């Protein structure tokens, strides 16, 4: 049903744009898009260009691997790491180094605070809308929700670590002699 609605929107919207096709981001998971079946290698209309317009400001790749996150933690790459777990979870399980704890329920208001208020309440530097932000949690579910919230607030370069704390601990234990 959702695909049918997306394609109807695409069909109606494409009438307003000359020689273009619109594929809404919600039709396909995690920012991936697929060309429709009528677009193939033997193009009948070589002068026609296919223009894909996305309805989301989210980048195509929002996932960060363990290696990429490790580079951020080691200071090789610059990014703000925000852990969206509850404080008791960090006390019980631990946290990724250099991460700032902002519980998921507070993300919406925290990202709207002044820099001084954010620093006072969360003990870290307030990320700017142009900063690279990486959200983490226990297993990657809450961090994806935080990513969507930050994107809706106008943050441009947001990512999440889908493996979460569980993968981090496993990889750190493997890498420790």
Q: Tens digits of per-residue pLDDT, 66-106? A: 999 999 999 888 899 999 999 999 999 999 999 999 999 99
Q: Do 160 and 87 fall into the same domain? A: yes
Q: CA angle at residue 123 from 119 to 126, to 5 degrees?
A: 40
Q: Are the C-beta atoms of 69 and 149 separated by less than 8 Å?
A: no
Can you read off the two tokens belonging to residue 117?
A: 């208020």
**Which residues are designated catalytic?**
137
For the stretch 124-142, pLDDT in tens is 999 999 999 999 999 999 9
Q: What total of structural domains would you count in the chain?
A: 2
Alpha carbon 71 to its chain centroid, in Å, reads 18
20 & 105 share domain: no
Q: Per residue in 25-80, pLDDT tens?
A: 444 444 444 444 343 444 444 444 444 434 445 445 689 999 999 999 998 888 99
CATH of the domain at 170: 3.40.250.10
For the entire predicted model, the pTM comes to: 0.66
């Amino acid at each position: 049903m959702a695909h049918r609605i997306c394609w109807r929107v695409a069909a109606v919207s494409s009438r307003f744009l000359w020689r273009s096709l619109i594929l809404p981001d919600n039709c396909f998971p995690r920012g991936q898009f697929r060309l429709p079946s009528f677009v193939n290698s033997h193009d009948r209309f070589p002068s026609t260009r296919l223009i894909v317009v996305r309805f989301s400001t989210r980048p195509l790749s929002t996932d960060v691997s363990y290696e990429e996150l490790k580079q951020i933690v080691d200071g090789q790459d610059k990014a703000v790491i925000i852990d969206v777990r509850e404080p008791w979870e960090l006390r019980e399980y631990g946290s990724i180094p250099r991460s700032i704890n902002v519980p998921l329920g507070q993300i919406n208001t925290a990202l709207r605070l002044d820099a001084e208020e954010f620093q006072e309440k969360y003990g870290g530097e307030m990320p700017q809308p142009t900063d690279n932000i990486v959200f983490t949690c226990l297993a990657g579910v809450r961090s994806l929700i935080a990513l969507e919230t930050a994107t809706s607030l106008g943050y441009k370069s947001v990512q999440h670590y889908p493996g979460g704390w569980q993968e981090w601990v496993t990889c750190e234990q493997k890498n420790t002699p």
